Amino acid sequence: MPGTSWRTRGEWLLVAVAGAFTLAQLLLVRPGLGLGWDETVYVSQVGTQSPAAFFSAPRARGVSVLVAPVASWSTSTELLRVYLALLSGLGLYLALRVWRRLFPARVLALGGALFASLWITLFYGPQAMPNHWVAIGALVCVGCFLRARADRCDRTAPWGVAAGAALMALMRPTDAVWVVLPLLVLVVVARRWRLATALVGGLVAGAGQWVIEAFVSYGGLGRRLSDASDIQGGLGLHLAVDDQLRGLVGRTLCRPCAGPLPNPAVTAWWFVLPLIAVIGLVVAVRAGRTAPTLLPLLCATTAAVPYLFMIGYAAPRFLLPAYALLAVPVADALLFLVTNPAGRWRPLTAALVAVGLAGHLAVQYVVLARAVDRTTADRRDWARTADELHRLGISPPCLIAGHEAIPVGYYTGCSSAATAGHNANSTRADILRTARRVPTAALTRPGAPPPSYAHGWRTHRSAGLDLHIAPKPTPAAQARPE
């Protein structure tokens, strides 16, 4: 009975962390926060508010699958945010629960709290974006891998390995490969073919659609990977560590990434994190339980490598899988530092760690608040532009082209088009042909000349954009077939 009671208390610790994470998202990130640029792309694939936006080569359809149960019948952003917040809380609970046989519940609860309290995790938990779900899949996959490796009789663990790998690959196939790279090496060296089958099977199941789509719509797998690399600035040797540091101030995308580094108070945790992780590894080696700490650290490292050293820009969300995998070893190290071998508190060390964590949480809250305020303002501008376009006669079916056409098109309920750049999906002739049939507008930055196809169109200013409105289609043109 005492053991059962402890297991129950441990379970409730994980439930409490996941519940607090969900509640914090709903309170701090605002369910009414409008959809961001990337979100409009993912949601439009299954939603009813606008036609599907152009789907560029790097993207995978996992997020569209994730939001389909709500977005396929409702245009309510508030409902979608609440749904994703609840789902992300549930995902965190299930991912932590996988590790129950590997670490004590208090370690897992602290690790979950450390990960969940990062402004990046709170900000992206309720958003229709893939990175948080890659992090959840990474925790599930690595945790189940360790369980299967330690206990060949654990029949559920290989299924968990496959499920975690599939979730990652469904969201971001290339990220999934980087995360599981140490696992693939280990199963080959150790000749654990059952685990290898689960791991590879999960990757294939998750990435299968993306690979098939590459041949159907992108000219083959090699071409899609090449296009994806070009869109990310060309994968190669790029030192993006300083870019990631600049992003920690609350910049959701740092491209181009210039300017001074943030205040050290904002970036201190980023430097402390790997140091504590190393302490966790030393503790694990001395305790004779190296693998449960070393393997997530290795997977966190490979997950971070492409975003620290291979692309020329940064977004804080790219490192969420690495932060999730580091969280448990870091929590183990912190608890080791604040308690003695008998399990009693070390008052001085505990006080220092508590002060450090309190300062860390305060910084995370401030950065989160600023990020939410800034993105709210941007998305309100898109909504105001959509309202102005409606007033000017641009209503579905319609077409929006030019600068920020994808998000403004979504908010307006129109198709979007671009003749150049990463989202090019049309030509000058196609846009002019469409403008003769349906209401059409081209957007530019204030004062910028209109695109060549929009010369002579009426120009209006709204929310920091110039709106160039095509002549109203004639009834004869509207009735003419495509």
DSSP letter string, 35-97:
P-HHHHHHHHTT-SSSPPPP--TT--THHHHHHHHHHTT---HHHHHHHHHHHHHHHHHHHHH
Q: Contact at 8 Å (CB) between 144 and 161?
A: yes
pTM metric for this prediction: 0.95
Buried b (16+ CB within 10 A) or exposed e, 161-196: bbbbbbbbbbbbbbbbbbbbbbbeebbeeeebeebb
Q: How far apart are CA 176 and CA 168, in angstroms?
A: 5
Is omega for the bond preceding 173 within 30 degrees of 0, making it cis? no
pLDDT of residue 83: 98
Tell me, rounded to whole angstroms, the distance of Cα 358 from its chain centroid: 26
pLDDT of residue 1: 40
pLDDT of residue 476: 56
Q: Contact at 8 Å (CB) between 343 and 313?
A: no
Residue 441 has φ and ψ, to the nearest 5°, of: -140, 145
The DSSP letter of residue 414 is: -
Using CA atoms of 152, 155, 160, 162 in order, give the dihedral in degrees to the nearest 10: 80
Using CA atoms of 365, 367, 369, 375 in order, give the dihedral in degrees to the nearest 10: -150
The DSSP letter of residue 233 is: T
| CA angle, 376 then 377 then 383, to 5° | 90
Angle between helices 405-412 and 37-44 (to 10 degrees): 60
Which among 376, 281, 295 is positioned nearest to 330, based on CA atoms?
Answer: 281
Q: How far apart are CA 459 and CA 294, in angstroms?
A: 60
pLDDT of residue 114: 98
Q: Determine the residue type at 246.
A: R
Q: How far apart are CA 215 and CA 112, in angstroms?
A: 40
Q: How far apart are CA 36 and CA 460, in angstroms?
A: 24
Per-residue pLDDT of the chain (482 residues; tens, 9 = 90+): 444 454 677 889 999 999 999 999 999 998 889 999 999 999 999 999 999 999 999 999 999 999 999 999 999 999 999 999 999 999 999 999 999 999 999 999 999 999 999 999 999 999 999 999 999 999 999 999 999 999 988 999 999 999 999 999 999 999 999 999 999 999 999 999 999 999 999 999 999 999 999 999 999 999 999 999 988 877 888 888 999 999 999 999 988 888 889 999 999 999 999 999 999 999 999 988 899 999 999 999 999 999 999 998 899 999 999 999 999 999 999 999 998 877 788 899 999 999 999 999 999 999 999 999 999 999 999 999 999 999 999 999 999 999 999 999 999 999 999 998 889 999 999 999 999 999 999 999 999 999 999 999 999 988 789 999 999 987 655 555 55
Q: Determine the residue type at 141.
A: C
pLDDT of residue 231: 86
Which neighbouring-strand residues pair with 339? 345
Beta-carbon neighbour count of residue 228 at 10 Å? 18
Which among 24, 54, 11, 8 is positioned nearest to 410, based on CA atoms?
Answer: 54
Q: What is the 3-state secondary structure (H, E, C) of 106-155?
A: HHHHHHHHHHHCCHHHHHHCCCCCCHHHHHHHHHHHHHHHHHHHHCCCCC
Beta-carbon neighbour count of residue 289 at 10 Å? 15
DSSP-derived pairing of the beta strands 415-417 and 465-469: unpaired
CA distances from 132 to 121, 289, 443 (A): 7, 28, 32
Q: Contact at 8 Å (CB) between 146 and 284?
A: no
Which neighbouring-strand residues pair with 127? none
Residue count of the chain:
482
Angle between helices 173-190 and 193-217 (to 10 degrees): 150
SS3 call for 350:
helix
Q: How far apart are CA 413 and CA 389, in angstroms?
A: 10
SS3 call for 306:
helix
